[in-house]
């Protein structure tokens, strides 16, 4: 079909439908070319309005009763949508579709496909249906792809969060780490470009809710992500090796980082988001197992963070290499956050980690206009002996203890270099001026390319 022009293709389908209509009273959904109006017109990708063919999962045998397995219907609808330019998959409102782990592969698909989600898609809760998959809904190698609508993706992850209630055969319960790694992520984009996700709700993922790995051009706005504050590793949005990412007007409530930015990310803008409960907005954790990590040009502004473990955080493992450079956190309003500002170059998520000399360097980090209340410590800057944090700039900070709080600590700095621009509340006397005598200009070569 790829050789056909779009007009030709539509014409052929129209003729086929007319023939079919003459033998049936049903309508031909595939040829309905009704105009599609975008719910949100904000669109950086400048893709053409979608006016292509529509593929309703109900027409492919989906029941939408919340019990029947509709996986095959979704796969069939996808196979057809993929072959048409600017097509639309329709998941209608008023239905609950049970769909197992599925890969929507875009390797041979046309551009500009819209996944119009107005109904609910439920993940399976039986271990058999998962079969060891590390994701639930995976979208790979798509170009100019949009998920849009008022619908919900429900990972029904509670069966994964507690061990006793569930018997997952593929899970070796020998270590916490294995348990954590075996939990599937809900929605995952790999190798995509110009991806938009808007309008929808993603909830109760077994692990991360929405992941972008190796994507270029990501726009997420007006979505909602939610899971309980104590659900393990349920990061809201997880970015890895992705660039040119914008996330705005989004509500994130989960059990781990609201947004986590991993190695390989650059040109990321987060603004007007609401985070909490959760662990705050984090860069990292970077450099596990001595890996090289590179992160640059990250802007986080106009953000409300409440009832979280940390506010804005950079966390790196000891023994790694690389560089985090060019990060700006501004206009952050915190409320009852344990530690609003944190750099931790000694990150360790289990009880003991070996001390190591090498580290991911951290430089050119700006904190501006960060205000509100904390419950444990206002600022914690714990930098590496061998790679001190350089050029930290704190301006207009006003962090106050929550009135009925107890056991508050003072600001802590270790090997942290930078400058302060008043007003700074509470007073900081531990930040070192100037440059560290430790030269670290050459180690970041791997990140420059």
Ligand X SMILES: *[C@@H]1O[C@H](CO)[C@@H](O)[C@H](O)[C@H]1NC(C)=O
Q: Which residues form the catalytic set?
A: 279
Which is closer to ligand X, CB of 247 or CB of 337? 247
Residue nearest to ligand X (CB): 269
Provide, rounded to whole angstroms, the least separation between the CB of residue 217 and ligand X. 11
Provide, rounded to whole angstroms, the least separation between the CB of residue 327 and ligand X. 11
Which is closer to ligand X, CB of 26 or CB of 354? 354
Residue 38 burial (C-beta neighbours within 10 Å; 0-12, 13-18, 19+): middle
Which is closer to ligand X, CB of 174 or CB of 355? 355
448 binding ligand X? (CB under 6 A): no
For 127-153, give the DSSP string: HHHHTT-SEEEEEES-EEEEEESS-EE
Give the number of other Cβ atoms within 10 Å of residue 172's Cβ: 11
What phi and psi, each to the nearest 5 degrees, are found at residue 138?
-115, 135
Which is closer to ligand X, CB of 108 or CB of 351? 351
Provide, rounded to whole angstroms, the least separation between the CB of residue 246 and ligand X. 7
What is the C-alpha separation between 78 and 106, in angstroms, rounded? 10
The answer to whether the CB of 417 falls within 8 A of the CB of 432 is yes
Angle of CA points 215, 152, 115, to nearest 5°: 50
Helices (H), 295-448: 445-448
What is the C-alpha separation between 59 and 27, in angstroms, rounded? 11
Which is closer to ligand X, CB of 183 or CB of 243? 243
Evaluated on CA atoms 33, 35, 39, 42, the torsion sign reads positive
Provide, rounded to whole angstroms, the least separation between the CB of residue 300 and ligand X. 10
User: How many amino acids of this chain bind ligand X (CB under 6 A)?
Assistant: 7
Query: Which 290-309 positions form the footprint of ligand X (CB under 6 A)?
Result: 297, 299
Which is closer to ligand X, CB of 16 or CB of 348? 348
Provide, rounded to whole angstroms, the least separation between the CB of residue 441 and ligand X. 20
- Estimate the share of the chain in helix, then strand, then coil, as percent rounded to the nearest 5: 15, 45, 45
Give the number of other Cβ atoms within 10 Å of residue 43's Cβ: 15
| CA neighbor of 136 nearest in space, from 66, 95, 183 | 183
Cα separations in angstroms, 391 against 321, 416, 431, 434:
19, 8, 10, 8
Query: Which 218-277 positions form the footprint of ligand X (CB under 6 A)?
Result: 267, 269
Query: Which 131-190 positions form the footprint of ligand X (CB under 6 A)?
Result: none
Provide, rounded to whole angstroms, the least separation between the CB of residue 266 and ligand X. 7
Provide, rounded to whole angstroms, the least separation between the CB of residue 44 and ligand X. 10
Which is closer to ligand X, CB of 107 or CB of 352? 352
Element (H, E) at 91: strand 88-91
Provide, rounded to whole angstroms, the least separation between the CB of residue 157 and ligand X. 31
The answer to whether the CB of 276 falls within 8 A of the CB of 248 is no
Which is closer to ligand X, CB of 231 or CB of 296? 296
Strand order of the β-sheet with 339-344 is 102-105, 135-140, 185-190, 210-213, 237-240, 259-261, 281-286, 310-316, 339-344, 379-382, 412-414
What is the C-alpha separation between 288 and 240, in angstroms, rounded? 14
Query: Which 337-376 positions form the footprint of ligand X (CB under 6 A)?
Result: 352, 354-355
What is the C-alpha separation between 130 and 101, in angstroms, rounded? 6
What is the C-alpha separation between 60 and 398, in angstroms, rounded? 57
Q: Which residues bind ligand X (CB under 6 A)?
A: 267, 269, 297, 299, 352, 354-355
């Amino acid at each position: 079909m790829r050789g056909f022009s779009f007009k030709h293709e539509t014409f052929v389908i129209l003729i086929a439908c007319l023939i079919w209509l003459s033998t049936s009273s049903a309508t031909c959904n595939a040829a309905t070319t009704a105009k599609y109006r975008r719910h949100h017109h904000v669109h950086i990708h400048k893709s053409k309005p979608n006016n292509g063919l529509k593929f309703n999962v109900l027409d492919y045998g989906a029941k939408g009763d919340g019990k029947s397995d509709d996986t095959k219907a979704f796969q069939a609808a996808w196979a057809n949508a993929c072959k048409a330019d600017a097509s639309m998959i329709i998941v209608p409102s008023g239905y609950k579709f049970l769909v197992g782990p599925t890969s929507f592969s875009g390797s041979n698909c046309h551009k500009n496909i819209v996944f119009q989600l107005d109904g609910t898609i439920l993940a399976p809760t039986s271990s058999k249906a998962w079969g060891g998959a590390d994701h639930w809904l995976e979208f790979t190698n798509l170009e100019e792809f949009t998920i849009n609508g008022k619908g919900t993706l429900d990972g029904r992850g509670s069966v994964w969060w507690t061990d006793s209630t569930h018997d997952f055969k593929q899970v070796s319960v020998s270590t916490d780490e294995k348990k954590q790694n075996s939990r599937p992520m809900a929605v995952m984009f790999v190798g995509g470009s110009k991806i938009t996700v808007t309008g929808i709700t993603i909830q109760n993922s077994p692990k991360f809710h929405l992941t972008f790995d190796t994507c270029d051009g990501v726009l997420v706005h007006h979505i909602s992500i939610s899971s309980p504050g104590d659900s393990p590793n349920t990061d809201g949005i997880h970015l890895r090796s992705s660039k040119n990412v914008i996330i705005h007007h989004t509500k994130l409530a989960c059990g781990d980082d609201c947004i986590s930015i991993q190695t390989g990310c650059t040109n990321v803008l987060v603004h007007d988001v609401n985070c909490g409960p959760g662990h705050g907005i984090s860069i990292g954790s970077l450099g596990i197992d001595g890996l090289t990590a590179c992160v640059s040009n990250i802007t986080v502004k106009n953000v409300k963070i409440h009832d979280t473990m940390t506010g804005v955080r950079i966390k790196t493992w000891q023994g790694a290499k690389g560089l985090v450079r060019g990060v700006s956190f501004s206009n952050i309003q915190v409320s009852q956050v344990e530690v609003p500002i944190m750099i931790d170059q000694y990150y360790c998520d289990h009880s003991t980690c070996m001390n190591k000399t090498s580290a991911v360097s951290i430089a050119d980090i700006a904190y501006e206009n960060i205000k509100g209340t904390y419950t444990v410590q206002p600022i914690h800057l714990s930098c590496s002996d061998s790679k001190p944090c350089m050029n930290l700039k704190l301006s207009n900070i006003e962090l106050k203890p929550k009135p009925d709080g107890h056991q508050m600590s003072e600001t802590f700095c270790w090997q942290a270099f930078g400058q302060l621009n008043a007003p700074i509340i509470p007073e900081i006397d531990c930040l070192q001026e100037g440059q560290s005598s430790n030269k670290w200009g050459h180690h970041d070569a791997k990140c420059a390319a």
